Amino acid sequence: MFVSLWTVLLIFSLPVWGQNRSGCKGPEELERAASSKPSATAYNALGAYFAGRKQFACAIAAFEKALQIDSGSWETRYNLGLALIEQGDRERAALELRRVVEQKPGLLDARNALGTALQELGQAEAAEEELKAALRIDPRSVHALHGLGRVLMTQRRFNAAISYLKQAVEIEPGDLGFRVSLAAAYSQNGNPAPAIALLKELAASHPQSAFVFFNLATVYAQERSFQEAADAYRQALRLEPGNDLARVSL
């Protein structure tokens, strides 16, 4: 979910970096730049390289090293926050991203990333606050609209969630995740008909998506339409044989 930057990076300490050389080896030119003339820019570039290859532990180390050299770089701290989210350290990610927001309160991507981290920490009210702040910056931010819809669903505020999710779908109708979230909100709000209609439409347009068929099966099962649910679970299993939840649900 690395929003856009990945332009600056860092690592923890030089000894720790040295211990991880075998697992954190970047391109020769980036390694040479970081070792011959250490700078925040060099480590940022190295961290971006690792992040782009989903080597998040290496990226985090690089971002941290860059921050040792230039602690005031909001770009580096933002990228560090994203890497921490991907690594699963949401608590520390939220701390770093809060510092970015304090420094750059109008930075949309930082607000969205912080909202994501807080949502994953289960801090729904704080996540809602950040995502609404993101929408004040850009009312058409689909990340904020979708994230806010998901947060409101956890609070069982389904009508409000549906409103935000509809906006996300209207702006980006081709996004599968947005439309499945909207279907889930309809279903959880006790309105299965539009949920089933939407998921059937998605199943027709995305016949290779186990994700869609699993969600369709789940709504059918909740409505006690067991034959339809079984058919959809079987299709999900055919597309994704390792889906144990679908197998157990049959």
What is the tens place of the pLDDT at every residue in 152-180? 999 999 999 999 999 999 999 999 999 99
Angstrom distance (rounded) from CA 39 to CA 36:
10
- Mean pLDDT, residues 80-89: 97
Q: Which domains are seen in the chain, by residue range?
A: 1-87 (1.25.40.10), 194-250 (1.25.40.10)
Residue 52 structure tokens = 């782009």
Q: Which residue has the tokens 């510092």?
A: 99
Rounded-to-10 torsion of CA 183, 186, 190, 195: -40
Per-residue CA distances from 47 to 87, 102, 109, 180, 226 (Å): 14, 23, 19, 34, 50
Per-residue pLDDT tens for 179-225?
Answer: 999 999 999 999 999 999 999 999 999 999 999 999 999 999 999 99
pTM (2 decimals)? Answer: 0.84
Q: Is the pLDDT confidence value at 17 over 80?
A: no
The number of angstroms, rounded, from the C-alpha of 147 to the middle of its chain's C-alpha atoms is 9
pLDDT, residue 13, reads 28
| Percent helix / strand / coil, the chain, rounded to 5 | 75, 0, 25
Let me know: does 83 contact 61? Beta carbons within 8 Å: no
The string over 43-73, giving b where at least 16 C-beta atoms fall within 10 Å of a residue's C-beta and e elsewhere, is bbbbbbbbbeeebbebbbbbbbbbbbbbeeb
Nearest to 82 by CA among 73, 71, 94: 94
pLDDT surpasses 80 at 1: no
pLDDT band at 36 (very low <50, low <70, confident <90, very high): confident
